[in-house]
């Protein structure tokens, strides 16, 4: 069984705003999945709620559209229940860095073998334009009429500090580069995190395609195993007053995954274990 | 025969373990045992007590009075002196000055030189509880070798030296008291050993037997011992147990694992359940079967964290936005905890909906004896499909097919040709989001149709006691236990009172409920909450209204004696008294602030 990018198309029309960064992102993601030869039925994409989180409906694999901020816990459990599946969690910046940030912080400690893609458009889109955790200082939105006065959330720095074993940033305006990032992320054994700049053409009038084109550059010659170098790169945008915004793999190391440390699922995934045959006589004896 | 011992000390002194060890001594002698801990939400300080009650026939709940109080500190004498029955004994540490307390007539005080006994046996001061335990057992004239066996099992993992020393100090205490010759005469009934476990552990065992493969939870009293028990045994049972960052994650993990095909469960108390509510609705809309054990404690909010109540039934029934079907089960004893722990998964999977097992601190943390559990239960997983025909290109599987019985075929990721989206969004038959007025209505109706089949799967309420009675007590969940003790007392007094107990709380079959109540003369509803939540639900769904409502919500379950007293009053009033009766304790004996009592 082989797959092509066409296999992942759905008959329903994709309904994001014309020009939305999500189009670049989904093309790159489907391309990566197809290039890696992942099978449709062995792949599960989970999402939260938001524009980004409509993605599972537009890729013909198994999918689970959960509730706002909960893409990661659902994805985690799917992986724990069936380690053979390719699990990709997606969500937005509000979804993952706002309402669901506790899951982001803790999943990195666990290092499940799954991929997390954040559609980072620095704004709340589906709720029509409120400030998000990654909205830049001074940005005027419906909820910050006088400009953002909260320090933006730093997803990459948080991920590097938090124990993620693969940390990358991509740009939806460069789907070719993004596809390669996704491929590397999916192939990484452990928790792979990709923050994707994905311009919201309707509500974010600051971080537009031209804004990114002027600032983005691809990391080269960067030592991905050096945590301090990675952190430095993660702060480069802020430190250069957003004159230089690097994309690419920031950090990549190996650590045992959570699930491979569980002897009870070493031989067989949970869902493949026969149920109804557990012998409780030992447990009863212990209670006597 | 009913015999009861209380062991009291300050929090952190280890009386929980001591109580469990004592209870185990008796289950190893084939006694029926109830071992109930009461403690404030403090790691140190305050007052803790464990009451171990045993009987030759079934003991359901702790009686108000006891025969022996083992006081490990001075506070314990103060708290329990008035609850010793005539002829009973208060054993206390000789080092304590209890002269300020008025000991009731007919109660003997018996000082024991705990420190000296420990020293004599070469033990450490930490072993005070072991000596005390031995003293209480010696007073009951219960054989020492059973205690020695329990000590060996309890302390075995701490090494041989610890075991030896504990047995030595126990022997010292035992011999000291035995030589004084008390009149109690408790002997093992047979060589058969009963099991001793909490309601929570029974739910866990039932779930495991029922094929639960995944449990995720966040620690919360009084549900935590499900988590502890499952973690301890996860490798033996071949299950995955996950402690999550919060209850939001716990419930979302449960949904995720279930979507992937594993029987999954979570457990919590009211506050944690509040955080799970959103994902509970998701499970309902995505038709992902999940089981949640809701072990109630006092609310609202933090309430009284370590005390019991049946105050979350309405919450369980109405939790989450929108209309959807759910099942609520309320076990009333250990055996029902096991059975419903098992059965919950069958119901969840057959009907693809959330099942809530509602229990409480009393049943969940109380330890009870049992001989065996129902091993005849069978796993039924409902409509799970495999080997699917090829789909037309770029179309998806109809996971939410509009079927006659409302139950659609379920397929797990990994199955070829089963691709679809499980979703919290209203959807068409393949799971694709929709806001179609027609499809929305059809999907709501489809999900709701399941009730027809479901109701046939839910047993009617059970009758206990004589078929005909002047008074019928109505109760649900854990309060069955004190109610059955009350029935026992009535029987002795020659008064015919029976019980209708609900374990299958929701949905309710009106015809079955009407049939159960047919022929009842006067009904008294007994609920461990302040508003009669289940009475309200019965009124709403079955148009049933009890004649009397007996409510208690001070942190404790009902006592059998209390129920008897109130019903006798009702009978004496020729059923003309107040319709709503609330239990008010006469004396305030809170354990959280002993200093309030001048201690």
pLDDT of B314 higher than 80: yes
- Segment B562-571 shows an average pLDDT of 97
Partners of residue A59 in chain B, C-beta under 8 Å: none
Nearest chain B alpha carbon to A259: B240
Contact A67 B278 (CB under 8 A): yes
Contact B213 A284 (CB under 8 A): no
Structure tokens at B83: 């609850």
- Segment B215-225 shows an average pLDDT of 98
* pLDDT single digits (tens) B58-74: 999 999 999 999 999 99
**Cα torsion at B569, B573, B574, B575 (round to 10°)?**
-70
**DSSP structural state of residue B286:** T
- Which of A147-156, B382-391, B586-595 bottoms out in mean pLDDT, i.e. has the lowest? B586-595
SS3 B343: helix
Å between B424 CA and nearest CA of chain A:
6
Whole-number Å distance between alpha carbons of A37 and A231 = 33
Interface test mutation site (partner A, options B256, B346, B411, B425, max chain A beta carbons within 10 A): B256
Residue B298 confidence class, pLDDT cut points 50, 70, 90: very high
Count Cβ atoms below 10 Å from residue B411 Cβ, excluding itself: 24
Order of strands, sheet of B462-464, starting from the edge strand that comes earlier in the sequence: B462-464, B497-502, B471-476, B522-527, B548-551, B580-582
Nearest chain B alpha carbon to A71: B252
Å between B242 CA and nearest CA of chain A:
9
Whole-number Å distance between alpha carbons of A137 and A150 = 7
Residue B45 confidence class, pLDDT cut points 50, 70, 90: confident
| Domain presence at residue A12 | yes
Structure tokens at B121: 């046996």
- B157 part of contact set with chain A, CB < 8 Å: no
Contact B431 A63 (CB under 8 A): yes
List C-alpha distances in Å: A227 to A110, A166, A231, A250.
18, 11, 6, 9
Within a 13 Å sphere around the CA of B343, how many CA atoms are in the beta-carbon half?
23
How many pairs of residues across A and B have Cβ atoms under 8 Å apart? 195
Whether the link from the prior residue into B428 is cis, omega within 30° of 0, is: no
Q: What local confidence, expressed as pLDDT, does residue B181 receive?
A: 79
Residue A37 confidence class, pLDDT cut points 50, 70, 90: very high
Nearest chain B alpha carbon to A11: B394
Q: What local confidence, expressed as pLDDT, does residue B363 receive?
A: 98
Angle among Cα B225, B230, B236 to the nearest 5 degrees reads: 150
| Domain presence at residue A78 | yes
| Domain presence at residue A267 | no
Contact A62 B413 (CB under 8 A): yes
* pLDDT single digits (tens) B369-419: 999 999 899 999 999 999 999 999 889 999 999 999 999 999 999 999 999
pLDDT of B598 higher than 90: no
- B509 part of contact set with chain A, CB < 8 Å: no
Answer whether A222's CB lies under 8 Å from A250's CB.
yes
**What residues contact residue B181 under an 8 Å CB cut-off, 6+ apart?**
none
Select from A57, A78, A106 the Cβ nearest to the Cβ of B432.
A57
- Segment B22-43 shows an average pLDDT of 96
Whole-number Å distance between alpha carbons of A135 and B383 = 47
Å between B73 CA and nearest CA of chain A:
30
Within a 13 Å sphere around the CA of B598, how many CA atoms are in the beta-carbon half?
4
Partners of residue B246 in chain A, C-beta under 8 Å: 102
SS3 A43: strand
Select from B205, B211, B423 the Cβ nearest to the Cβ of A283.
B205
Q: What is the pTM of this model?
A: 0.98
Q: What local confidence, expressed as pLDDT, does residue B394 receive?
A: 85
**Strands A86-92 and B84-93, bridge-based pairing:** unpaired
* Domains B2-193 and B462-582 agree in fold: no
Locate tokens 């759910």: which residue?
B326
Whole-number Å distance between alpha carbons of A22 and B122 = 75
Contact B418 A62 (CB under 8 A): yes
- B284 part of contact set with chain A, CB < 8 Å: no
Å between B81 CA and nearest CA of chain A:
32
Q: Which domain holds residue A148?
A: 5-259
Contact B214 A80 (CB under 8 A): yes
- B552 part of contact set with chain A, CB < 8 Å: no
pLDDT of B364 higher than 80: yes
Structure tokens at B353: 């909906």
Mean pLDDT for all residues in chain B: 96
Partners of residue B196 in chain A, C-beta under 8 Å: 287-288
Order of strands, sheet of A166-171, starting from the edge strand that comes earlier in the sequence: A216-218, A245-252, A166-171, A192-197, A115-120, A86-92, A43-47, A62-65, B421-423
Whole-number Å distance between alpha carbons of A46 and A38 = 16
Partners of residue A74 in chain B, C-beta under 8 Å: 252-253, 255-256, 259
pLDDT of B302 higher than 80: yes
DSSP structure string for B470-506: SEEEEEEGGGHHHHHHHHHHHHHHT--EEEEEESEEE
* pLDDT single digits (tens) B533-543: 999 999 999 99
Contact B418 A41 (CB under 8 A): yes
Locate tokens 């669901």: which residue?
A100
Partners of residue B419 in chain A, C-beta under 8 Å: 40-41, 60-63
B/e letters for B414-443, b = 16+ CB within 10 Å, e = fewer, are bbbbbbbbbbbbbbbbbbbbbeeeebeeeb
Contact B233 A54 (CB under 8 A): no
Structure tokens at B138: 């010696």
pLDDT of B595 higher than 70: yes
CATH among 3.30.1960.10, 3.40.920.10, 3.40.50.300, 3.10.20.600 for B2-193: 3.40.920.10
Contact B424 A66 (CB under 8 A): yes
ipTM above 0.85, yes or no: yes
| Domain presence at residue A214 | yes
Select from A264, A275, A288 the Cβ nearest to the Cβ of B263.
A275
Sorted by where each begins, the domain ranges of chain B are: 2-193, 197-370, 462-582
Answer whether A110's CB lies under 8 Å from A259's CB.
no
Order of strands, sheet of B195-198, starting from the edge strand that comes earlier in the sequence: B108-112, B84-93, B66-71, B2-11, B45-55, B32-38, B367-370, B195-198
**Strands B212-217 and B2-11, bridge-based pairing:** unpaired
- Segment B170-186 shows an average pLDDT of 91
Locate tokens 């089963």: which residue?
B418
- B435 part of contact set with chain A, CB < 8 Å: no
CATH top class, domain B197-370: alpha beta
Whole-number Å distance between alpha carbons of B105 and B100 = 15
* pLDDT single digits (tens) B342-353: 999 999 999 999
Answer whether A76's CB lies under 8 Å from A112's CB.
yes
Select from B201, B379, B412 the Cβ nearest to the Cβ of A276.
B379
What percent of chain B is modeled with pLDDT above 90? 95
Å between A192 CA and nearest CA of chain B:
19
Nearest chain B alpha carbon to A83: B260
Select from A64, A65, A81 the Cβ nearest to the Cβ of B262.
A81
Number of domains forming the structure of chain A: 1
Answer whether B379's CB lies under 8 Å from B346's CB.
yes
Partners of residue A7 in chain B, C-beta under 8 Å: 393-394
Nearest chain A alpha carbon to B375: A280
Q: Which of B515, B520, B516, B514 is nearest to B469 (CA)?
A: B520
Whole-number Å distance between alpha carbons of A185 and A176 = 14
**DSSP structural state of residue B250:** H
Topology of the domain covering B462-582: Rossmann fold (3.40.50)
Length of chain A equals 288
Chain centre distance of CA A100: 12
Å between A288 CA and nearest CA of chain B:
4
Count Cβ atoms below 10 Å from residue A247 Cβ, excluding itself: 24
- Segment B7-25 shows an average pLDDT of 94
**Strands B548-551 and B580-582, bridge-based pairing:** parallel
- Segment B7-33 shows an average pLDDT of 95
Whole-number Å distance between alpha carbons of A22 and B192 = 68
Answer whether A259's CB lies under 8 Å from A253's CB.
no
| CATH code where residue A161 lies | 3.40.50.970
- Segment A218-245 shows an average pLDDT of 97
Answer whether B234's CB lies under 8 Å from B241's CB.
yes
Nearest chain B alpha carbon to A6: B394
* pLDDT single digits (tens) B253-281: 999 999 999 999 999 999 999 999 999 99
**Cα torsion at B349, B350, B356, B358 (round to 10°)?**
-120
Contact A82 B413 (CB under 8 A): yes
User: Using CB atoms within 10 A of its CB, is residue B125 exposed (0-12), middle (13-18) or buried (19+)?
Assistant: exposed
Nearest chain B alpha carbon to A276: B211
Q: Taking a contact as any Cβ pair under 8 Å apart, which residues of chain B between 186 and 225 contact chain A? A: 193-197, 201, 205, 208-211, 213-214, 216
**Strand extents, DSSP E, B101-143:** 108-112
pLDDT of B37 higher than 80: yes
Q: What local confidence, expressed as pLDDT, does residue A1 receive?
A: 60
Whole-number Å distance between alpha carbons of B478 and B23 = 20
Select from B201, B282, B413 the Cβ nearest to the Cβ of A85.
B413
């Amino acid at each position: 069984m082989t797959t092509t990018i066409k296999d992942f198309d759905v008959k329903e029309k994709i309904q994001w705003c014309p020009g939305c960064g999500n189009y670049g992102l989904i093309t790159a993601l489907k391309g990566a999945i197809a290039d890696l030869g992942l099978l449709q039925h062995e792949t599960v994409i989970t999402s939260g709620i938001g524009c980004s989180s409509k993605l599972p409906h537009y890729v013909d694999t198994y999918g689970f559209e959960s509730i706002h901020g909960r893409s990661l816990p659902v994805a985690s459990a799917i992986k724990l229940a069936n380690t053979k599946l390719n699990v990709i969690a997606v969500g937005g910046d509000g979804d993952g860095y706002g309402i669901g940030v506790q899951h982001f912080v803790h999943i990195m400690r666990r290092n499940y073998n799954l991929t997390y893609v954040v559609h980072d458009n620095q704004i709340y889109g589906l709720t029509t334009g409120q400030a998000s955790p990654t909205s830049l200082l001074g940005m005027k939105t419906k909820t910050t009429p006088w400009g953002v006065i909260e320090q933006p959330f730093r997803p990459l720095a948080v991920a590097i500090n938090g124990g993620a074993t693969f940390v990358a940033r991509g740009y939806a305006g460069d789907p070719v580069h993004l596809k390669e990032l996704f491929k590397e992320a999916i192939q990484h054994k452990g928790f792979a995190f990709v923050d994707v700049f994905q311009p919201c053409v309707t509500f974010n009038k600051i971080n537009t395609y031209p804004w990114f084109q002027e600032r983005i550059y691809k990391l080269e010659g960067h030592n991905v195993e050096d945590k301090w170098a990675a952190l430095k790169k993660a702060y480069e945008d802020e430190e250069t007053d957003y004159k230089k915004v690097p994309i690419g793999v920031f950090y990549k190391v190996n650590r045992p995954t959570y699930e491979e440390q569980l002897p009870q699922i070493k031989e067989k995934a949970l869902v493949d274990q026969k149920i109804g045959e557990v012998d409780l006589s030992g447990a009863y004896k212990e209670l006597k | 025969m009913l015999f009861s011992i209380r062991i009291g000390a300050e929090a952190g002194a280890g009386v929980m373990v001591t109580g469990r060890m004592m209870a185990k001594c008796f289950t190893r002698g084939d006694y029926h045992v109830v071992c109930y801990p009461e403690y404030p939400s403090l790691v140190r300080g305050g007052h803790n007590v464990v009451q171990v009650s045993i009987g030759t026939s079934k003991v359901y709940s702790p009686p108000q009075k006891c025969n022996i109080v083992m006081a490990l500190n001075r506070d314990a004498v103060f708290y329990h002196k008035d609850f010793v029955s005539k002829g009973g004994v208060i054993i206390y540490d000789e080092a304590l000055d209890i002269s300020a307390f008025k000991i009731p007539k007919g109660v003997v005080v018996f000082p024991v030189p705990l420190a000296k006994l420990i020293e004599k046996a070469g033990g450490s001061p930490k072993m005070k509880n072991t000596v005390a335990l031995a003293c209480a057992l010696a007073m009951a004239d219960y054989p020492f070798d059973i205690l020695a066996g329990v000590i060996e099992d309890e302390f075995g993992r701490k090494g041989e030296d610890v075991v030896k020393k504990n047995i030595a100090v126990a022997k010292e205490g035992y011999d000291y008291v035995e030589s004084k010759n008390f009149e109690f005469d408790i002997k093992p009934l047979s060589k058969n050993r009963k099991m001793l476990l909490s309601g929570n552990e029974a739910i866990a065992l039932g779930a495991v037997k029922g094929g639960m493969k995944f449990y995720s939870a966040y620690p919360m009293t009084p549900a935590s011992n499900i988590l502890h028990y499952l973690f301890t045994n996860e490798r033996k049972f071949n299950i995955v147990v996950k402690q999550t960052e919060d209850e939001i994650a716990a419930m979302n993990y449960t949904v995720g694992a279930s979507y992937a095909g594993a029987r999954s469960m979570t457990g919590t108390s009211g506050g944690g359940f509040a955080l799970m509510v959103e994902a509970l609705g998701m499970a309902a809309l995505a038709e992902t079967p999940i089981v949640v054990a809701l072990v109630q404690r006092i609310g609202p909010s933090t309430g009284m964290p370590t005390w019991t109540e049946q105050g979350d039934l309405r919450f369980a029934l109405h939790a989450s936005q929108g209309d959807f079907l759910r099942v609520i089960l309320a076990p009333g004893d250990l055996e029902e905890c096991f059975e419903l722990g098992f059965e919950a998964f069958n119901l969840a999977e057959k009907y693809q909906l959330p099942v809530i097992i509602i229990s409480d601190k009393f049943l969940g943390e109380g330890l009870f004896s049992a001989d065996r559990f129902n091993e005849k239960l069978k796993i039924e997983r409902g409509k799970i499909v495999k080997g699917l025909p090829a789909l037309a290109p770029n179309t998806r599987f109809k996971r939410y097919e509009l079927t006659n019985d409302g139950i659609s075929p379920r397929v797990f990721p990994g199955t070829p040709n089963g691709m679809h989206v499980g979703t919290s969004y209203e959807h068409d038959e393949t799971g694709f989001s929709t806001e179609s007025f027609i499809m929305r209505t059809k999907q709501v109706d489809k999900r709701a149709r399941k009730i027809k089949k479901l109701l046939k799967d839910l047993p009617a309420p059970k009758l206990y006691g004589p078929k005909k009675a002047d008074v019928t007590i109505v109760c649900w969940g854990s309060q069955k236990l004190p109610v059955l003790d009350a029935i026992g007392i009535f029987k002795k007094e020659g008064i015919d009172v029976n019980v209708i107990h609900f374990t299958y709380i929701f949905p309710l079959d009106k015809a079955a409920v009407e049939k159960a109540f047919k022929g009842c003369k006067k009904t008294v509803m007994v609920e461990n909450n302040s508003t009669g939540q289940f009475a309200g639900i019965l009124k709403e769904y079955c148009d049933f209204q009890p004649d009397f409502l007996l409510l208690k919500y001070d942190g404790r379950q009902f006592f059998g004696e209390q129920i008897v007293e109130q019903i006798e009053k009702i009978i004496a009033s020729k059923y003309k008294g107040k319709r709503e009766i609330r239990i008010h304790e006469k004396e305030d004996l809170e354990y959280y602030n002993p200093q309030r009592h001048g201690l």
